[in-house]
Amino acid sequence: FMFDTVATGGTFDILHKGHYTLLLKAFEVGKQVIIGISSDYYASVKKKKITNEYPIRLKNLKRFIEDKFNKSNYSIYELNDFYGPTVLTNDVQAIVTTEGTKENCIKINELRKSKGLPQLEIIIVPLVEDQDGKVISSTRIRRGEIDINGNKLTI
């Protein structure tokens, strides 16, 4: 482990290969992992279409972590903004994210600096793409274009 505590987050609506990659990195580098899940309210503010309400996304994520990683060294927080617990505590040392949300991590570090908290190491995980080089996303899965592993679905 490189860090005692790392944070990561997302909407985690339809769990797919991209979520797996993000969480894999978080569990690789952190002894303890804090995972933020967007609340239904925050997901709607972000203009995210969601299939599953928060309690279902929470239950599915816990099952996903159990099945894929067999880990118990994590805690989950409901996010009503992108900062979550990362700006409240000195414990977090790094944040695991994708290129798409790197800007939020920079803002988190700015707020931490203003509060006299140390900067977080930002660990970028590449977005996972399908065979055509398109990013695997819950939106594309919801539309029926691909499955959770990025395989094309034929109609």
Q: Catalytic residue positions?
A: 46, 48
Residue 143: CB partners within 8 Å, gap ≥ 6?
A: none
Cβ neighbours around 43 below 10 Å, total: 21
Residue entry with tokens 């709607």: 44
Q: Is 47 exposed, middle or buried (0-12, 13-18, 19+ CB in 10 A)?
A: exposed
Region for residue 47 given its phi and psi (left: phi exceeds 0; alpha: psi -120 to 50; beta: otherwise): left
Element (H, E) at 95: strand 94-98
| Distance separating alpha carbons of residues 113 and 98, to the nearest angstrom | 22
